[in-house]
Structure 1
Amino acid sequence: MILLDTNVVSESLRGPRNSELQRWLNAQRLAELFLCTPVLAELRYGIERLPVGRRRDILDEAVRNFQESVFADRVIPVDRDCAHAYGRILAQRERRARPIGIMDALIAAVALAHGATLATRDVSGFDHLGIDLVNPFVPA
Structure 2
Amino acid sequence: MKFMLDTNICIYLIKCRSEKIIEHLKKHTAGEVGISSITLAELRYGVAKSQHRKQNRIALESFVLPLEIASFDEKAAEMYGIIRSQLEKAGKPTGSLVTLIGAHALSVGVTLVTNNIREFKHIKSLKVVDWTA
Compute the TM-score of the two structures, normalised by the length of structure 2.
Answer: 0.89
Deviation per CA, 1:100-132: give whole Å up to 9, x if none.
Answer: 111111111110100010000111211242111
Supply the AA of the counterpart residue of 1:37. S
User: 5+ unaligned residues in a row in structure 1: which ranges?
Assistant: none
- The 5-angstrom pairing of residues 1-140 of structure 1 reads 1-16=2-17, 18-51=18-51, 55-67=52-64, 69-71=65-67, 74-129=68-123, 130-138=125-133
> Which string of whole-angstrom CA distances, capped at 9 and with x for unpartnered residues, describes residues 63-110 of structure 1?
12333x312xx1111111000000011111111211111111111111
Q: What is the CA distance between 1:22 and its match in structure 2?
A: 2.9
User: How far apart, CA to CA, are the structure 1 residues paired with 2:132 and 2:29?
Assistant: 17
**In 2, Cα distance between equivalents of 1:64 and 1:100:** 29
Quote how far apart the aligned CAs of 1:21 are. Answer: 2.4
State the superposition RMSD in angstroms.
1.6
Deviation string, structure 1 residues 28-87 (Cα, Å, up to 9, x no partner): 333310111100011011112212xxx3211111212333x312xx11111110000000
Post-superposition offset of 1:15: 4.3
**Percent of counterpart pairs with the same letter?**
28
Aligned residues: 131
Query: What TM-score, normalized to structure 1?
Result: 0.85
Secondary structure of the equivalent of 2:31?
helix
TM-superposed deviation, 1:3:
0.4
Spell out structure 1 runs of 4+ moving beyond 4 A: none
Aligned amino acid, residue 43 of structure 1: L
